Structure 1
């Protein structure tokens, strides 16, 4: 009975320990910063909750590693449509739950979750399966049209919430997979032009909320809106800048403990790192992320099939964009989108979806060698 829940030694030899160790370090570091950002008003509530989510996430990773990722490919359609179902559920007022202007959450009893985090995984798995079935032949009108329809269905539902941040994450996941699959560059360029045109139309319609427009406008003139739409970014920049090279020290961030940076335990967790751990702490965190990305790229290149490679590419794309966007918005280089920093920000949905993605990468790495009889 216990053998079913034991990973064989052969697979453990292929297990990428550097990735999981690095992720655990980031998670624990994130938990420290979450406590620092929230202890004044909430004590250890968010710290304890985050540690529980991390424990659940690690247990989920172990369980998913017991399943050959080839079997996960067979259930790609179920995973994908379940994600779409959750997004549709989000459209029903009874379940819809609004946070910071975006109705991107659903609540069932006392439990709330963000469906788009799991739908993102569904998109990656489904597109990877389709590309594998197509044997990578993406430069075929029928094939690219089929892939794009699969990508657009959940993304359209995410846009309607509206959650532009997660829409962008999904877009770059799809873009990364298309690019590595070898899609003609002219088609990619045409896609960008089409998106730019749709963006211009959306800007002049009611599809984009007023506060979302102001986040972009205020980015180019932060001084004018520093008491309103640029307040969060302005305070974040003050905190990060005041941290200097070595930081003010754990629990000694005045901007953070004073509550001047809203959402500092979630979307703006990097502000806590910058103020309390300084430039050195920020660089070390980025280096840890680069270790994860480097190891994931290595696994993607060594994967035994197209499905494994494409899943890794989609996940790497989401991680890279999330890091780039989250840090960019906290230092005032990019508009605020509500994208969390992987494994660092507080949130059950974010942590669990990140661990699911991690388990897929590790699973593909463990089973990258074909068994010859």
Structure 2
């Protein structure tokens, strides 16, 4: 009898222990499900579609490439590394990310300086710009692409720290914040301009303005900035019309030639306007439904890189081009939704806003320049154009945005 009781107690203990572990397992699954319940899978899906479009289009475009490389395979490698980089971001919360942000910003500045002072054997000139390090076995590293993300993080860090200590309603404090933002932005912008990379510096200006306009700074200051921007553009246009040579003191010959080719690409079609002329011919020849995959026949230099959208328009026509544009719209829309959802945390909010500004300007500028709407600036179409630095940096920024979407914020006295 005693043995039988002992046997029952042992079985009960064994069962209860298993049951306990089962409850723990169920609790972990529930917590995990709750955590990822608010993860933005829609954004991931749109990004996945964009990556597929990129690989398919690059596979077709590389037949025009001036280099003996398989850009299709290398782009898949960059996407894989970019996904890993984005996943690494999930290992950290935003308090940790905020702590290391100044260090990343400092590393980015050091890399920009390094490009300028490095010998041409390490940092050669390409298309009139000295913006890349040559990395044996991997290709090239473009610090300005990473600096865009580091700048977004730094501006979010500065704005968040400022509002933790200051009153938003004081104009004097608004001016202090404006000076902090301007100082943090001016350093990388000047360094990139010295590299003769006007396009990347313009991107950073747009990111800075987006943060300023949404930082809660007094509207009088915002209005003064707008008038200053409009006045500067008007003066530059007047100088270009009456004495364009004066602009050589600000812009190089390479940038001015791009403006001339933009104004009349067919007049300069055998020289500086050749690339834009070919781009317009390719886009126009695609018509509604395109010529079909791998059937493009209009030669375009750097088609796999900055002019990747021309391959989309030529081979898949207006329908294919509209699909790609719609993907960018949906990606920007989802990131904007995450930004609005994260507005209770200023650091996360301004990171999301910076990424919205980055993707919006890149897509507008790149698609506009290949279709002749705006001058050519040489910036890539994010996550479509070939390029390791651009892909990995963009995925790092996307990882920050997705990290912000991971959690649902609880508000006291809220019924939600």
Alignment TM-score > 0.5, same fold: yes
Deviation, 1:109, is: 3.5
Q: Who is 2:58 aligned against? A: 34
Cα root mean square deviation, aligned: 2.3
Tell me the SS of whatever aligns to 1:332. Answer: coil
- 1-structure distance, mates of 2:117, 2:295: 44
Tell me the SS of whatever aligns to 1:134. Answer: helix
Tell me the SS of whatever aligns to 2:132. Answer: strand
Q: Specify which of 404, 411, 414 is matched with residue 364 of structure 1.
A: 404
The structure that has the greater radius of gyration is 2
Q: Who is 2:196 aligned against? A: 162
Is the alpha carbon distance of 1:88 and 1:270 closer, same or farther for their aligned partners in structure 2, counting shifts above 3 Å?
same
Query: Contact 1:326/1:339 (CA < 8 Å) preserved in 2?
Result: yes
Q: Who is 1:270 aligned against? A: 309
Q: Who is 2:76 aligned against? A: 51
Q: Who is 1:97 aligned against? A: 124
Alignment of 1:147 with 2:181, yes or no, is yes
- 1-structure distance, mates of 2:273, 2:63: 25
- 2-structure distance, mates of 1:198, 1:79: 36
- 2-structure distance, mates of 1:40, 1:237: 16
Q: Who is 1:300 aligned against? A: 339
- 2-structure distance, mates of 1:288, 1:308: 23
Tell me the SS of whatever aligns to 1:238. Answer: helix
Query: Contact 2:336/2:356 (CA < 8 Å) preserved in 1?
Result: yes
Note the alpha carbon deviations across 1:1-39, whole angstroms, 9 max, x for none.
xxxxx9943321121011111111111111111010113
Query: Contact 2:261/2:276 (CA < 8 Å) preserved in 1?
Result: no
Give structure 2 stretches of 5+ with no counterpart: 1-28
Q: Who is 1:289 aligned against? A: 328
Q: Specify which of 264, 271, 274 is matched with residue 231 of structure 1.
A: 274
Tell me the SS of whatever aligns to 1:107. Answer: strand
Aligned residue runs from structure 1 range 50-69, under 5 A:
50-69=75-94
Aligned residue runs from structure 1 range 10-29, under 5 A:
10-29=34-53
- 2-structure distance, mates of 1:198, 1:75: 41
Deviation, 1:59, is: 1.3
Query: Contact 1:248/1:276 (CA < 8 Å) preserved in 2?
Result: yes
Deviation, 1:191, is: 4.0
Is the alpha carbon distance of 1:370 and 1:131 closer, same or farther for their aligned partners in structure 2, counting shifts above 3 Å?
farther
Aligned residue runs from structure 1 range 178-197, under 5 A:
178-183=212-217, 184=219, 185-193=222-230, 195-196=232-233
Deviation, 1:370, is: 4.7
Deviation, 1:371, is: 8.7
Alignment of 1:254 with 2:297, yes or no, is yes
- 1-structure distance, mates of 2:50, 2:89: 21
TM-score normalised to structure 2 length: 0.82
Query: Contact 2:332/2:356 (CA < 8 Å) preserved in 1?
Result: yes
Q: Specify which of 264, 273, 283 is matched with residue 221 of structure 1.
A: 264
Note the alpha carbon deviations across 1:158-191, whole angstroms, 9 max, x for none.
0100101101111111111111113333232244
- 2-structure distance, mates of 1:172, 1:296: 17
- 2-structure distance, mates of 1:203, 1:126: 35
- 1-structure distance, mates of 2:231, 2:193: 16
- 2-structure distance, mates of 1:81, 1:196: 31
Q: Specify which of 80, 103, 119 is matched with residue 78 of structure 1.
A: 103
Tell me the SS of whatever aligns to 2:292. Answer: coil
Note the alpha carbon deviations across 1:226-261, whole angstroms, 9 max, x for none.
111111111111111111100000000111xxxx21
- 2-structure distance, mates of 1:317, 1:13: 27
Q: Who is 1:120 aligned against? A: 148
